[in-house]
Amino acid sequence: METLEKAGLAVNYNKIPGTKSKSLPKQVHIWDETLRDGEQTPGVALTIDEKIEIAKKLDEVGTAIVAVGFPAVSEEEKKAVAAIAKEGLSKASVAAPARAVISDVKSCIDAGVAEVPIFIATSDFRLKYQLRMTRQEMLERLTECIEYGKEHGLIIDYIAEDATRSEMEFLCQAYRTAIEAGADKICIADTVGFVRPEVMKHITREVKARLWTKAKYKVPIAVHCHDDFGLATANTLAAVEEGVTYPQVCVNAYGERAGNAAFEEIVMALEELYGIDTGIETEKIYSLSKLVERHFVVPLPLHKAISGDNAFTHSSGIHSHGQLTHSMTYEPISPSIVGRRREFHLGKFVGRHFVEYLLKMGGVKATSAQAREITERVKKTHEELKKTQSKVAFDKIKGDLKDLRTGVSEREFWAIVFDIV
């Protein structure tokens, strides 16, 4: 079917040259953190088989880098990372992160991964209160670990944790130090989701201006954004607008606290709104989303963009009628692009046109008066059903969902302590 845009009936302001940054890349490489930061969603603990299945699916859809776990966390995690590395992915680089600690890097080497993102904070706050080291000590530690990784033939990336709360000159000094030690990529991490999109642009421009003036510092830049203020997707796109080519994402926006930039949102925004090639087979996005949801046992919100149950469901009679006349009336993209189907909701907002459509599809002949009566009956039925809905039942369902978040209780923690100490 001819699109409204091709027919000259719809204006796409996204294509106006003046609305696009001159630094916008033509292609980006999706760096997925679902099996690392995503698994840090409270209550989630994947089995080796689940990790392998998700990693293979991420590879299948065209992900460039898959961070498959954190080997230094435990022996079981190290085994899982090693299993995926041994399994081998056909397209994606298998990565595993390490703190700026030699033993962490050794764990990654033992696990057999090809790429190791090394992370250490650059904000004075984190250096003083968390790491308890000076700037100089931090730079020396960073250099030591990167050089060690390069000596062992690894692709090494440097993640400047808390970059968006760091003093710019020292942040760039850390990046230069990492690159001189052999880092292949650097990453701007908005670790606590603290900046606005315009601020992310400013930081990215500053980093580029201070590094890319010399050829040896012109390495690819990644970005890692958290969603504490609901801005992870917006901040990631803002960074891409300024030339970042490795956006880090998590499927379904899973991750620590409020989560990370969503794989499906970043990919579809870049492909459809910016016209940037992500290398992702978008028609497989929904099956990836459902696979990860099932293994994480963390239900998606119904209204979640792209992958939520309601994302392509129409309730209003006006909307349903519009969709029956042309698919783009109330949808920005066809659901088939992300492997989904359009749905219609029968309830208090249903319209007569949709009822008549259903009757026609069912081979039922009805007069206009009968169609109106059916429409009104559907509306009233939904309203009556809603009245019988129990808030107590809702609270119970919410409680049951909360129970899905597994973990060790404080009582169990102290029982372990007293059993050992």
What confidence tens digit (pLDDT) does each residue in 102-135 have? 999 999 999 999 999 999 999 999 899 999 999 9
Q: Angle of helix 75-87 relative to helix 48-61, nearest 10 degrees?
A: 40
Residues 290 and 324 in one domain: no
Residues 270 and 317 in one domain: no
Q: How far are the Cα atoms of 42, 55, 88, 124, 299 from residue 48, in angstroms, in the given order?
A: 18, 10, 14, 37, 21
Domain holding 381, by residue range, is 313-387
The whole-number average pLDDT for the span 145-151 is 98
> Does the residue 338 lie in any domain?
yes
> Does the residue 5 lie in any domain?
no
Task: Provide the pLDDT for residue 10.
Answer: 78
Q: In whole angstroms, give the CA distance from residue 202 to residue 193.
A: 15
Task: Provide the pLDDT for residue 1.
Answer: 45
Query: What angle (nearest 5°) sits at the alpha carbon of residue 254, between those of residues 252 and 258?
Result: 120
Residue 165 contacts residue 192 (beta carbons within 8 Å): yes
Residues 178 and 289 in one domain: yes
Q: Would you say how long the chain is, in residues?
A: 421
Q: In whole angstroms, give the CA distance from residue 105 to residue 96.
A: 9
The whole-number average pLDDT for the span 145-154 is 98
pLDDT band at 289 (very low <50, low <70, confident <90, very high): very high
On the question of pLDDT at 7 being above 70, the answer is no
Task: Provide the pLDDT for residue 5.
Answer: 67
Number of neighbouring beta carbons within 10 Å of residue 82: 21
Task: Provide the pLDDT for residue 408.
Answer: 86
The whole-number average pLDDT for the span 127-146 is 96
| Structural domain count, the chain | 2
Which one has a higher pLDDT value, 26 or 407?
A: 26
Residues 167 and 33 in one domain: yes
What are the tens digits of pLDDT across the range 378-417? 888 887 888 887 788 888 888 888 888 788 888 898 899 9
Task: Provide the pLDDT for residue 187.
Answer: 98
What are the tens digits of pLDDT across the range 34-51? 999 999 999 999 999 999
> Does the residue 12 lie in any domain?
no
Residues 223 and 331 in one domain: no
For the chain, the three-class secondary structure string (H helix, E strand, C coil) is CCCCCCCCCCCCHHHCHHHCCCCCCCECCCEECCCCCHHHCCCCCCCHHHHHHHHHHHHHHCCCEEECCCCCCCHHHHHHHHHHHHHCCCCCEEECCEECCHHHHHHHHHHCCCEEEEEEECCHHHHHHHHCCCHHHHHHHHHHHHHHHHHCCCEEEEEEECHHHCCHHHHHHHHHHHHHHCCCEEEEEECCCCCCHHHHHHHHHHHHHHHCCCHHHCCCEEEEEECCCCCHHHHHHHHHHCCCCEEEEEHHHCCCCCCECEHHHHHHHHHHHHCCECCCCHHHHHHHHHHHHHHHCCCCCCCCCCCCCCCCEECCHHHHHHHHHCCCCCCCCCHHHHCCCCEECCCCCCCHHHHHHHHHHCCCCCCHHHHHHHHHHHHHHHHHHHHHCCHHHHHHHHHHHHHCCCCCCHHHHHHHHHHHC
Residues 317 and 290 in one domain: no
Phi, psi of 395 (to 5 degrees): -60, -35
CATH number of the domain encompassing residue 174: 3.20.20.70
On the question of pLDDT at 208 being above 70, the answer is yes
Mean pLDDT of the chain: 91
Q: In whole angstroms, give the CA distance from residue 77 to residue 181.
A: 28
Which one has a higher pLDDT value, 233 or 2?
A: 233
> Does the residue 4 lie in any domain?
no
Residues 68 and 167 in one domain: yes
Q: How far are the Cα atoms of 93, 145, 249, 286 from residue 64, in angstroms, in the given order?
A: 6, 24, 11, 18
The whole-number average pLDDT for the span 267-290 is 97
Residues 180 and 241 in one domain: yes
pLDDT band at 57 (very low <50, low <70, confident <90, very high): very high
What are the tens digits of pLDDT across the range 235-247? 999 999 999 999 9
The whole-number average pLDDT for the span 167-192 is 98
pLDDT band at 326 (very low <50, low <70, confident <90, very high): low
Q: Which neighbouring-strand residues pair with 262?
A: 250
Phi, psi of 311 (to 5 degrees): -60, -30
pLDDT band at 374 (very low <50, low <70, confident <90, very high): confident
On the question of pLDDT at 84 being above 80, the answer is yes
What are the tens digits of pLDDT across the range 301-315? 999 999 999 888 876
pLDDT band at 150 (very low <50, low <70, confident <90, very high): very high
On the question of pLDDT at 324 being above 70, the answer is no
On the question of pLDDT at 225 being above 90, the answer is yes
> Does the residue 280 lie in any domain?
yes
Task: Provide the pLDDT for residue 176.
Answer: 98
The whole-number average pLDDT for the span 80-97 is 94
The whole-number average pLDDT for the span 270-276 is 96
pTM score, whole prediction: 0.89
Task: Provide the pLDDT for residue 362.
Answer: 82
